[in-house]
Structure 1
Amino acid sequence: MSNWEKVYQEWKSFSNLDAALKKELDAMKDDPKALEDAFYKELTFGTGGMRGVLGPGTNRMNIYTVRKAVNGLAKYLLDNVVNVKDRGVVIAYDSRYMSQEFAVETAKVLGAYDIKAYVFESLRPTPLLSFAVRYLATAAGVMITASHNPPEYNGFKVYNEDGGQMVPEEANQVITAIKEIENELMVPVLEREVLEEKQLLNWVGKDIDNAYLDQLIHISKLDQQAFEQNKDLQIVFTPLHGTAHDLVIRGLEQLHFENVEVVKEQAIPDPEFSTVESPNPEEHQAFTLAIELGKKNDADILLGTDPDADRLGVAVKDKNGGYTVLTGNQLGSLLVDYILSHTDPVTLNNGRMIKTIVTSELGQAIASSYGVETINTLTGFKYIGEKIRQFDATGETFVFGYEESYGYLISSFARDKDAVQAAVMACEMAHYWKQKGKTLLDVLDDLYKKHGYYQEGMTSLTLKGKEGSEKIATIMDEIRKNPMKEIGGLKVEKTEDYLSSEQLLVDTGATKVIELPKENVFKFLLDNNSWVCLRPSGTEPKIKCYYGVCGETRDGSEQILASLKDTMDQTINQIIG
């Protein structure tokens, strides 16, 4: 009997197994491949938490794997953070299946350690959870969400006492504590009634929403007169069946945006996300209903937030009466320019813009033109939050942070990407330029003409299950062992292996240490200011390949980009056969 089969038998014979999970397990009994995938490993707890398919098994999201993770978190907090029991942990959740149940399970495990839990009474966005950690001064925060994953997924994200996602140093200690627990079925819990009686479970209402909105109003860059004017920008908004509706609408009202239409079919929370193929504003199909309503209302701008409201997508009316969906890099570059052009130059002297290593270099070019230094981090907003925390000690000033995957942060009262802040600022920016007779597409063209025609792309290959994980590992191993000297006709000038923290100058063989945490990422720096970067996802069964180019013309940049993609597609296909 293999190891996974032993674990399966333990679950099958556990007398107190949750009834719904027992029923699912019984239905799988004649499918050894499905059983192996559910039990062959433990669900990975990464630097931000864990995410997986719902169902029975150690490789699935269920009350037992959640309890095991919380138990490890509780032990970590008690060993490393002061006044944990009194300060407690704040917990929020989104609209997915089992989200509220997992939030309560989190409180039940914390309660067994006499640690208070503050649980939101209804679903809330991720950025509000980040804000709540800071507002309530809790020892940590937990967000139950799988972000924009398909309906069968859920997840568990952990935030440190600063309101940022846990960084590797912290997460590794939590992982160590989790691994000390041999049997996830036996994690101690206190029942809800006992928690409430002992005041270890406290329900959180609208007070934190209002405190967040009090901070949100101050992100505006308009002068007082312009701020107080009613704005004629025509806005269409879809929360894609998620958590953003109330805060985005109230945030826009505070800035006197009166013409906001919500896509009614997508305004109601729905764990099936029944009107979209994927509840991801990065996917253009997510804007289908918003575009229909936009055309009907002659809207200037369309806003789409993912289910937990940490990502924002924007589409802008074009000259032909249709709508162009901006990439995350394009919207980020526009926001960099707008924010810095409306910030006191004295502040900019010590200002820092933060982006990730796979985010467009256009943002850095714009920031440099305002005299602002750019700091690059690894992929993941946790690293941007970590940098902001360091600024508290160094005296540097955070002016903006973003990543290509539609995540933006304007003000550091939250410490994770914030689609509510971004939605409000995107509308203010569109209104400002409309008053000048320009659309955001016009402004983007101006930025290209000034700084160069930066173009970016990303391809994603999904490889599910045990075999998929092995194929992803093979791709990364082969790229490292036999790095290419040329990609798409462009010479490789440098390689950067973030797992070994080594940058290699190809011509001379000279090496340099990369001063960033170790991560399974490999980047090629090419001539003509182009680059290619390979990165397995930390939360999904995917490997992603990112591209960036800068040409003298739009057509020239697009041709280089296409050539890079073709070469990498062929290379990856050859590796995995």
Structure 2
Amino acid sequence: MENWENTYKKWSSFKHLDESLKIELHNKKDNKAALEDAFYKELAFGTGGIRGLLGPGTNRMNIYTVRKAVNGLANYLLANRVNVKDRGVVIAYDSRYMSPEFAIESAKVLGSYGIKAHIFESLRPTPLLSFAVRYLSTAAGIMITASHNPPEYNGFKVYNENGGQITPDEADKIINTIKQTEDELTVPYLEKVDLEEKDLLSWLGIEIDNAYLSRLKQITKMSSEVQEQEKDLQIVFTPLHGTSYHLVTKGLEQLNFTNVSIVEEQAKPDPEFSTVQSPNPEEHQAFKMAIELGDNTNADILLGTDPDADRLGVAVKNKAGEYQVLTGNQLGSLLLDYILTHSDRKIYQNSRMIKTVVTTELGRAIADANQVETIDTLTGFKFIGDKINQFDSTGETFVFGFEESYGYLISSFVRDKDAVQSAMMATEMAYFWKQQGKTLFDALDVLYEKHGYYLEGMSSLTLKGKEGSDRIASTMNKILTNPLTEIAGINVEKIENYLSSERIIVADNTRETIDLPKENMMKFILEQDGWVCLRPSGTEPKLKCYYGVRGNSHQDSKQILQSLKETMDQMLDEMVNQPR
């Protein structure tokens, strides 16, 4: 990229620059560090799209960087998909700053190529966008969201014609077409009035919602009789200022769950997410107000979705009578067990459960006990969605997919993680176990007693800047070239190198091929059903370390997990700080 100062001058002298961005640039004219950060590089298009801070500059989310991304997508679609102009692209957006504006800007660029845009008339969840791509048979989908990032962020995610997040191969091709756009300030576009005049813009209303809700009702495992019954389950729900309010409340109503208390302070969309430190149900502070309401209503289950409603968090009372948030691994395992034990096995011939390589092995144990095969994918739900797409031609049956980071999918009419589906299934599961006199934590103990005391954890090492990135790369290279043979006194049985796609059986040094896309990741399979996995984060300056164990008791598992963590933390700290 050219010198950042030249790029800044080009923007500041552009006579048609958006007025609000022009004012921001003027206010920063004496802040060299801020200007350099805004212009020293282009906002990276990752495997799913772009995400970044809002503001002027090539390294920021604004109408010009969005236009450039859409320009690349349009050219990619015209070269690689059929009937693109007629099929069009469906666009949805969440509650963040500039989300509606970015949706319109996307349509304006698509329209300049004669590609019709279908935009939701108001904010919608990410899983509904995935559903709409399939329902409308569009050539692609665009979701304007930054998921659970802080308020100053927004993003742009691309979905393929199957309704899933774009695959790495698709992303590479789109990136190449984006690079062919030399000047983001002069990307061609049509004005909104011209789009409507040329019938290149249609507005989507509740038709898609109703179609989704119709499919949603079909995922239940309850009998018709039970569905019609009044249910003594007390529910608290918070959409965390995001997009899920309508679909979750309507979905619960369809199943006759009527005792629903809403966290009203968090029910309305709010781009500031003003009542939480972070609108992320993975972080337990996000449940503070839901827990307060739960205490007041004696709720059986608390539900919380992130702003774009693809992740679900659930809290229930533990043995001490206090609300505790289930981990993603725990909730996923409970959902899998409930689904498989409440399904007609004759229907699920060639059935498959899909999880990522860093997700709990308890899922595999549950699937094995129900004669269901487990398929592992790389981290990221896009890989689970892509595997489901393959089932359309192989005849395999998808029954459930999940990842440790609070993403679950019950039915494949959506091809991405879906917090709305998950909220419905978690609620009816809680109702089932309440009828047995148990909470979900009691149900989890049943699974542990049957399959073993599985426990997982994750730690990360944050190293910012170029120096930090270099040290992360150097540390991963050391581990890849000199793999560990024991960790915390436990022998390594298998070494899985995902960069070379090779699995080594340590005992006899035999080698197997790992049939997954290449990724900079190393996993060590240990004796005693334990494992450790290392990978650099794709979105943050972090080296992540995942752990999984299976002990003879909860206490045994905690001790083994702590030992693995302490050993790996010390080893990584020493590696990172070694002189280079």
Shift of the 139–510 alpha-carbon distance from structure 1 to 2, 3 Å rule, reads: same
The equivalent of 1:395 in structure 2 is: 395
Q: Which amino acid aligns with 2:16?
A: N
Query: How far is the alpha carbon of 1:262 from its aligned partner?
Result: 0.7
For the 8 Å contact 1:47–1:168, the answer to whether it is kept is yes
Match for residue 357 of structure 1? 357
Matches within 5 A, 1:275-286: 275-286=275-286
Name the counterpart of 1:28. Answer: 28
Aligned amino acid, residue 413 of structure 2 = F
Matched residue of 1:550: which SS?
strand
Q: Deviations for 1:186-240, whole angstroms, at most 9, x for unmatched residues?
A: 2111111111111111111111001100100000101111111111100001111
Equivalent residue of 2:38, what SS?
helix
Higher alpha-carbon deviation: 251-260 or 507-516:
507-516
What aligned pairs does 1:482-493 form with structure 2 within 5 A after superposition?
482-493=482-493
Matched, 1:144 2:144: yes
1:3–1:483 Cα change, 3 Å = farther
1:271 matched to 2:271? The reply is: yes
Which residue pairs with 2:98 in the alignment? 98
Give 1:118 shift. 0.6
The CA distance in 1 between the partners of 2:3 and 2:501, in whole Å, is 35
Secondary structure at the residue paired with 1:363?
A: helix
Deviation string for 1:514-538 (max 9, x for gaps)? 1101122222222211111122333
The residue matched to 1:50 in structure 2 has which SS? strand
| 3-state secondary structure, aligned to 2:347 | helix
Distance in 2 separating the partners of 1:372 and 1:421: 21
Asked whether the equivalents of residues 340 and 348 of structure 1 are also in contact (C-alpha less than 8 Å), the reply is: no
Contact kept, 8 Å, 1:11 with 1:17, in 2: the verdict is: yes
**CA 33–481 in structure 1, closer or farther in 2 if over 3 Å, else same:** farther
1:377-526 equivalences in 2 (<5 Å): 377-526=377-526
1:245 corresponds to 2:245: yes
Distance (whole Å) between structure 2 residues aligned to residue 317 and residue 66 of structure 1: 44
Q: Alpha carbons of 1:62 and 1:395: their partners in 2 closer, same or farther (altered >3 Å)?
A: same
Distance 2:507 2:117 in 1: 57
Aligned residue type for 1:137: S
Amino acid paired to 1:151: P
Identity of aligned residues (%): 70
Q: Any idea what the Cα deviations from partners look like across 1:122-176, whole Å, max 9, x if unmatched?
A: 1100000000001111110000111111111111111011101111121111111
1:274 is displaced (CA, Å) by 1.1
Are 1:211 and 2:211 counterparts? yes
- What is the alpha-carbon distance in structure 2 between the residues aligned to residue 347 and residue 106 of structure 1? 42
Instruction: Answer yes or no: is 1:64 the counterpart of 2:102.
Output: no
Shift, 1:539, TM fit? 3.2
The alignment status of 1:113 with 2:137, answered yes or no, reads: no
> Is the contact made by 1:51 and 1:539 (CA closer than 8 Å) also made in structure 2?
no
CA-CA distance at 1:471 after TM superposition:
4.0
> Which residue does the alignment assign to 2:343?
343
Distance 2:119 2:524 in 1: 45
Structure 1 residues 153, 222: closer, same or farther in 2, change over 3 A?
Answer: same
Map Cα deviations across residues 29-58 of structure 1 (whole Å, 9 max, x no partner).
Answer: 333333333223222212211211222222
The within-5 A match list for 1:540-551 is: 540-551=540-551
Matches within 5 A, 1:76-95: 76-95=76-95
**Alignment length (residue pairs):** 577
TM-score of the superposed pair, with normalisation by structure 2: 0.96
1:347 positional shift: 2.3
Q: Which moved more, 1:495-504 or 1:115-124?
A: 495-504
Identify the residue that residue 572 of structure 2 maps to in structure 1: 572
For the residue of structure 2 that corresponds to 1:76, the secondary structure is helix
Please say if residues 347 and 397 of structure 1, whose CA atoms lie closer than 8 Å, have aligned partners that are also in contact.
no
Q: Distance in 2 between matches of 1:504 and 1:72?
A: 41
**Range moving further from structure 2, 144-153 or 460-469:** 460-469
Deviates more, 1:31-40 or 1:436-445: 31-40
Give the Cα–Cα distance (whole angstroms) in 2 for the partners of residues 202 and 348 of structure 1.
39
The change in CA–CA distance for 1:241 and 1:393 in structure 2 (over 3 A counts) is: same
Correspondence for 1:293: 293
Paired letter, 2:59:
N
* Residue range with higher mean Cα deviation, 331-340 or 223-232: 223-232
Q: 1:55 to 1:199 in 2, by over 3 A?
A: same
2:303 matched residue in structure 1:
303
Partner residue, 1:125: 125
> Offset of 1:371 from its aligned partner?
0.2
Q: What CA distance in whole angstroms lies between the structure 1 residues aligned with 2:99 and 2:121?
A: 12
State the shift of 1:507 in Å. Answer: 4.5
The yes-or-no answer on 1:537 pairing with 2:541 is: no
Asked if structure 2 preserves the Cα contact closer than 8 Å seen for 1:348 and 1:370, the reply is no
Structure 1 pair 576–33 and aligned structure 2 pair: CA distance change class (3 A): farther
Contact residue 409 and residue 418 of structure 1 kept, 8 A: yes
- 3-state SS in 2 of match to 1:273: coil
Is 1:50 the counterpart of 2:50? The answer is: yes
Distance 1:93 1:549, change over 3 A: same
Question: Does 2:358 align with 1:369?
Answer: no
Shift of 1:499: 2.1
The aligned runs of 1:554-573 (5 Å cut-off) are 554-573=554-573
Q: Distance in 2 between matches of 1:500 and 1:520?
A: 9
Stretches of structure 2 lacking an aligned partner (at least 5 in a row): none
Aligned-residue offset at 1:284: 0.8
The SS at the match of 1:221 is coil
Amino acid in the other structure paired with 1:505: I
Distance in 1 separating the partners of 2:306 and 2:531: 28
Could you state the TM-score of these two structures normalised by the residue count of structure 1? 0.97
Q: Secondary structure at the match of 1:528?
A: helix
Compared CA separation, residues 119 and 522, structure 1 to 2 (3 A) = same
